[in-house]
Structures are given as C-alpha cells and as structure tokens.
Amino acid sequence: MAVQQSVGPDPYFPDNGDPRYRVHRYELTLDYRPGPNRLSGTARINAIAGRAPLPEFQLNLADFRIGRVRVDGRQANYTHRGGKLRVRPAKPLRAGAAFTVEIHWSGNPKPVSSPWGGLGWEELTDGALVASQPTGAPSWFPCNDRPADKATYLISITTPSAYSVVAGGRLLTRTTKASTTTWVYEQAAPTSSYLVGLSIGKYQTVLLGDPGLGGVPMHGHIPAHLLPQFSRDFARQPAMMDLFQRLFGPYPFDEYAVVVADEEFDVPVEAQGLSLFGVNHVDGARGSERLVAHELAHQWFGNSVSIADWRHIWLNEGFAKYAEWLWSERSGGRTAQQLAAAAHRLLSGQPQDLRLADPGRKSMFDDRLYERGGLTLHALRCAMGDEPFFRMLRAWAGLHRGGAVSTATFRSHVARHADDPLDGLLTAWLDRPELPPLPTQDARVA
C-alpha cells in the first residue's frame, strides 16, 4: 500500500485540515433525535504529530456547542470560531508523538455552506443523511478535513428504534433498549473524512445477489414502497461488481451498501463502502443504471485510491465516468468508443478553458471534467491496447489501495506500464485546455 500525504494546505481549501499531524482512528459516539434534529456526540481521536513539535493544532467543526476538550486525558484550552476548533494542549506535543483528543459537542446539525450549496448533514422529511463531498464532514463531527488524511472509524449511533442507521463499513452490533436502538459500525479501511457516509431513515433491507463463495456482501436499504422498482433498477449491480473486479482488481472493502432516501437528489453521492441515491434515481426502467455503475466504481477510484488534494479530482471522476462506458460496452449497450465519440462531440462545442490536471476550485465539479477524464483514459486504452491498459488499471488500484495519490503519481505509473512513451498524450489531455482529437481505435473489453 502506498500512502502519499500532501505536505501543505490544500490549495483549493486552505482553511480545511491541518497538515502538521495525521489521524489514525476516529471513535464517534453519537445520539441523534430526528424530531428536534438534535445531535450530541463524543469523539475520541487518535493522532500522530508530524515532524515538528505541536504547541497547538486545528480541527474542523461546524457551529456546535463544545462541552469539553481533552488531550491525552488533560483539559486543553481551545477556541472555536468560523468552523475551526483550535486546541492548545496543556504542554506542547513532541514531534512524532502519538496523542489522543477527546471532544464533546452538541447542537442542531445542518449543512455547511459552499460554492455548491449546503454540504454534509442534511435533515430530511423523516430522517437524515450525510453527503459531504468535498468539505461537509465538519457539519457533524470534528475532523482533520483533508482528503489525504485517511483514518479508520468506529461509529456508534443511538436513534429512536423506528429508524434504521446505515453507515459505510461493517455493522458490529445493534442493541435495542426501551425506545432507542444503538448501531455500531466499523470501517477498518483508511477513509477520508468526506467519505464517511451515514443515513438515518425508515428502510427495508434487501440482499443484492448471493455473496456465495467469497463474493462481496451487498445490501440495499430502501423505502418499502420502492422495492419493486429498486429490484429491477439494481438487478445488474452484482454483474457490475463481477466485471469491475475483473477489470480493476478485488473489491477493496468488506461489503457494499446502497441507500435510496425518500427524497430527490440532484446526483447520487458516494461514500466509502456506501452510495446514496434519491427516489428520482429509481424508476423501474434502469434509467439511472450508468449512475449505479459510476458510484460502484468510486469504491476503487476515489475511495480506496484517494487524492492527495482536490486538484487531482479527475482521478476520481474521470475513472468513474470511464467505468460507466466499460459497463455499457460489456452489458450490450453502446461501446466505449461510441460513448467517447459522443463525449468528444459534446466537449468540442463547449469552452476550451479547462485544465484537467488542475481545473481550479470553481470547475472541480464541471461536467467537462468528468467527460474529459473519461476520454483521457480511453485515449490511453487506445494507445496502449487492452491487455496493457487493464493491467495498468489493476496495478494502480492494487499498489495504492488505502492510499492517496496525485496526477504526477499516475503519470509515473503509466510510464512504467506503457511500451512506448506517452508523455505527449498525457500532456495534451491533462495539461492543455484545447481538446485533442478523438482517439479512433475501437477498443473493446477483453
């Protein structure tokens, strides 16, 4: 496993995260009451100081009431303003020292503001969910909110017993006492804070496919009235899982869950080991099947292999976009070449001012980034040939499993797997805003 930590603040979100330390594990104990939208929590955060002593450090946390803050069991001084919780331990932390932070907070969670609207904790008509990409995690727990700082999670959530709780990871226990139930989940794989997924609602749980002999357990959590449509719309997800494991390598987590909230979403949202869809993505006619493939592919590209900072988001979205095209090709739909041609026609009529390798914060979720990212991978596939290309993809997912990468890392990786130099191709697609010609080889999934 290769882990690449970015060494300074994220250039797109310099106020988020603190590169002077890294977190090893979060243990969150939460109590949530949907009616009054009331959340109280205790976090135990195990972390390691960086190469310099730490007289103080920073976490990100939205506007909650802070009950206490302790470092290594001792009361710490702190300030909490503008989404930043600055903590000053009783004595400075030594360089390289392991330390533990305990924080208690409470209040009414709500999304944090961003250029893309509210992010993070969202109160629903009957329940709640978390959709944090890219900076919404502090809306519900204190964290070092930078994508490269990946940690394991143990999350305990108590809610009224009428509600189900779904989180990314493995359900360890579910304990009912009187009118409340406590759900305990563990995510043992390194996870970026924005990828900690959570949904609280009234769901029916179904098994998707048969995990059988060593297969991946997959469950759906949906409102009961949508079960007939869901059963058709997600029927081919087990086949997607089989294909992606063949093309990308073993599924990187213990299990996979999908949730359909009883609300409409603009787009589905991926979390680690979990994807969240809206009722508008369930129509009984597989109308959103490409999005089912897209979110599943993110488990390899974006979740297991994460980005060092947000400049490199094409490594998430371009790969998931190309997975849509691969699924279409394999399942009898349009070929990747046909879909690449359609994307190229679309982009050719739009402004040529986006640099894929560093799109800028305003354009990091631009549709052009997704389409051009998919085209970049198709261009590589056409240049390399199927066998070397998919060998390169499997090696990328395997070598960097649980880690964080950059575009420079990907360039070097491609160079090691290509028979001929591809620097010019990558420069044209990644660094220059002008759209290169459409790759013309009709590549197909082996």
List the CATH code of the domain at 203-304: 3.30.2010.30
Mean pLDDT confidence for 170-188: 97
- So what's the pLDDT on residue 3? 43
pLDDT digits 0-9 by tens, 370-411: 999 999 999 999 999 999 999 999 999 999 999 999 999 999
218-222 vs 74-75, strand pairing mode:
unpaired
DSSP-assigned letter for residue 6: -
Cis geometry, peptide bond prior to residue 89 (ω within 30 degrees of 0): no
Distance CA 148, CA 154 (A): 19
**Mean pLDDT value across residues 346-374:** 97
289-294 CB contacts, 8 Å cutoff, 24+ apart = 289/233, 289/236, 289/327, 290/324, 290/327, 290/328, 291/267, 291/324, 292/233, 292/234, 292/236, 292/237, 292/240, 292/258, 293/240, 293/323, 293/324, 293/327, 294/268, 294/320, 294/321, 294/323, 294/324
Query: What's the mean pLDDT when you consider all of the chain?
Result: 95
The tokens for 396 are 């990328």
Task: Note the pLDDT of residue 326.
Answer: 98
The catalytic residue among 32, 78, 256, 370 is 370
CATH architecture under which domain 306-431 falls: Orthogonal Bundle (1.10)
Judge whether 295 and 248 are in contact, CB under 8 Å.
no
12 is catalytic: no
Tell me the pLDDT tens digit for each residue of 15-37.
999 999 999 999 999 999 999 99
Bridge partners (DSSP) of residue 187 are 153
Q: Which residues are annotated as a binding site?
A: 294, 298, 317
Active site residue: 295, 324, 329, 371, which one? 295
CA dihedral sign, ordered 42, 44, 47, 49:
positive
CA-based max dimension of the chain? 67
Least confident of 40-54, 202-216, 400-414: 202-216
Q: Give catalytic status of residue 370 as yes or no.
A: yes
Closest CA to 365 of 83, 19, 117: 117
Fold match flag (1-201 vs 306-431): no
**Cα atoms found within 13 Å of the Cα of residue 126, Cβ hemisphere only:** 9
Q: Under 8 Å CB-to-CB from 417, ≥6 apart: which residues?
A: 384, 388, 391, 392, 395
CATH level 3 topology of 1-201: Immunoglobulin-like (2.60.40)
Annotated binding site for Zn(2+): 294, 298, 317
Domain ranges of the chain: 1-201, 203-304, 306-431
Rounded Cα distance, 157 and 185, in Å: 9
Q: In what order do the strands lie in the sheet with 180-191?
A: 74-75, 65-71, 98-107, 38-49, 21-33, 151-160, 180-191, 170-177
Is the CB of residue 309 less than 8 Å from the CB of residue 11?
Answer: yes
Mean pLDDT for the stretch of residues 59-77? 97
Q: Is the pTM of this model over 0.85?
A: yes
Please name the residue ranges forming H helices in 215-269.
227-233, 237-248
In angstroms, rounded to a whole number, what is the distance separating the alpha carbons of residues 142 and 94? 22
